Amino acid sequence: MHMRYVIFIGLLSLLTVSYGQELPKKTLWQGQLGPIRLLLRINIDSLTNRPTARFESPDQGANNIPVSDLRITADSVVATSAMIAGTFRGKFSAGRQALDGVWLQRGVLPQPITLKRVEQVMAMSRPQLPKPPLPYRSDSLTFQNADQSIRYGATLTRPATGQTFPAVVLITGSGPQDRDETLMGHKPFLVIADNLTRNGFAVLRVDDRGFGQTTGNFATATSTDFANDVLAAIAYLKTRPDVDKKRIGLIGHSEGGMIAPMVAVQSPDVAYIVSLAGVSVKGADLLKKQLSAGARLAGVSGEALAASDQFFSTLIDRIVAQPIDQVIPIDTLRQVYRTWRKQQPDDRARGLGMDNEPALTPMLMQFSTPWFRNFLRYDPVPTLSKLTIPVLAMNGEKDYQVDATDNLNSFDTNLKRAGNKRYKIVMMPGLNHLFQTAKTGAGVEYGQIEETFSPKALDIMTAWLKEVVK
């Protein structure tokens, strides 16, 4: 999460259009806002024959930001998205192949930008993605949970030679994700699976429930439900003659690193786990620190940072205080905002991008979902204190989403308390939450970095796993 909330959700926006100059039915315009690509995609609605448009920010994983007000004249284009309180104003160059203009957004200084007409979005360089032919077998498959209420879409990779193999299940982080944990062109789970399969492991990666080829309802699911999905994956692996049933392990990233211990204390079939930036402190404490760190990376400081921290701390505490079996009315959370807003000067609230209550409502609604409420209340410590199987806990030193020091210390303290003699704690200098080599660790860098997953981190994880399954 980042300080300035831009919640990209599939809401229909009322579109105001005026135009006085014909454009081809489909045009794509691309420019740079500092390191971030901004795209304006203009189409013609097939029913109304009127222009429609959307913004895209592929480096931030935002590909459908509706334009609510589009104005095209003989010499200019003005496109506004109410969802993100952002506007592009530009004038056509000679030949109409570029738009020279400015980007305006609440809480951000005006930024000059030139959008050039392009035929297609330039592909992002992702050199670690495996390229065929692959020296191992890879099969798309489906399996079901015990009561057959959910069908899972998955991919299993396994070595080309041999009879039985140690196997791992990959567990994604928070938010609906596909089996590759795809984000901004990166596919970290594909890279991990490729590396481990080349080193003798069978690897099962699975679409999240309600996403991709997996059925079920993501919106109502909690971490407990995702743990049950992992148990279903383990049960499936146990049916396969090419899997060594005594050497099944789990690799979880972020929330997945929290879910892996939950599963391990329930299932004697889990022989070892790897936590990649796994959560090992209370969810509420983690989120407060994450939001504050994200704000600092975005340049917020001083009284503005203190005000931001105060709002989110109060909001999170109010959510946690509500009994879990009771719905939180959205007006209750709006009131938290209104009380805070009365205490803030207009320029400070505007600078934080928090001066507009309707624009914050989607974020407040997100905070009141079943997953969010359960995550904020969850304390991993009792589970970690029972974990006696081999554990590798790794974090990137520049991870602002899951603080490396706090969470690795919690793993260390509580695995010792469990009497676990077979664990390893690794702090990776210079790596971010995705285990990329990073400058600052800020989320804005994720899409800019070509590296998907640090080769050094892959080597450490692979060597540890091979030692554990010997």
Tens-digit pLDDT profile for residues 73-84: 888 999 999 888
Report the distance separating Cα 348 and Cα 340, nearest Å: 12
* Dihedral over alpha carbons 207, 212, 215, 219 (to 10 degrees): 90
How much helix, strand and coil, in percent to the nearest 5, is found in the chain?
30, 30, 40
pLDDT (tens digit, 9 = 90+) per residue, 363-382?
898 899 999 999 999 999 99
Q: Where are the beta strands (DSSP E) in 199-333?
A: 202-206, 243-253, 270-276
**Residues constituting the chain:** 470
The H or E element that residue 393 is part of is strand 391-396
Give me the DSSP letters along 296-359: HHTT--HHHHHHHHHHHHHHHHHHHHS-TTS---HHHHHHHHHHHHHTS-HHHHHHTT-S-HHH
Report the distance separating Cα 249 and Cα 264, nearest Å: 9
pLDDT over threshold 70, residue 9: no
Give the max Cα distance, the chain. Answer: 74
Sign of the Cα pseudo-torsion (95, 102, 445, 83, in order): negative
Q: Which residues of 72-100 are buried (b: 16+ CB within 10 A; e: fewer)?
A: beeebbbbbbbbbbbbbbbebeeeeebbb
Please, which pLDDT band fits residue 139 given cuts at 50, 70 and 90? very high
Report the distance separating Cα 316 and Cα 306, nearest Å: 15
Counting Cα atoms < 13 Å in the Cβ hemisphere of 429 gives 0
Q: What is the DSSP letter of 213?
A: T
pLDDT over threshold 60, residue 349: yes
Mapped onto helix, strand or coil, the DSSP state of residue 132 is coil
Contacts of 402 (CB under 8 A, 6+ apart): 254, 257, 277, 278, 279, 286, 290, 395, 433
| Mean pLDDT, the chain, integer | 90
Nearest to 254 by CA among 367, 401, 383: 401
> By CB neighbour count within 10 A (0-12 exposed, 13-18 middle, 19+ buried), where does 241 fall?
exposed
Domains 16-118 and 136-281+380-468 equal at CATH topology level: no
Mapped onto helix, strand or coil, the DSSP state of residue 423 is strand
Please, which pLDDT band fits residue 26 given cuts at 50, 70 and 90? confident
Under CATH, which architecture does the 136-281+380-468 domain have? 3-Layer(aba) Sandwich (3.40)
pLDDT over threshold 60, residue 107: no
pLDDT over threshold 60, residue 154: yes
Report the distance separating Cα 188 and Cα 182, nearest Å: 7
pLDDT (tens digit, 9 = 90+) per residue, 382-407?
999 999 999 999 999 999 999 999 99
Counting Cα atoms < 13 Å in the Cβ hemisphere of 425 gives 17
- Tell me the average pLDDT across 323-350: 94
Please give the pLDDT value at position 277.
98
- Tell me the average pLDDT across 249-266: 98
Please give the pLDDT value at position 39.
94
Contacts of 452 (CB under 8 A, 6+ apart): 126, 128, 129, 186, 187, 188, 191, 434, 436
Return the CATH number of 16-118, one of 2.40.160, 3.40.50, 1.10.8, 2.60.40: 2.40.160
Mapped onto helix, strand or coil, the DSSP state of residue 426 is strand
Counting Cα atoms < 13 Å in the Cβ hemisphere of 324 gives 10
CB 97 within 8 A of CB 117: yes
Confidence (pTM): 0.83
Boundaries of every domain in the chain: 16-118, 136-281+380-468, 283-375
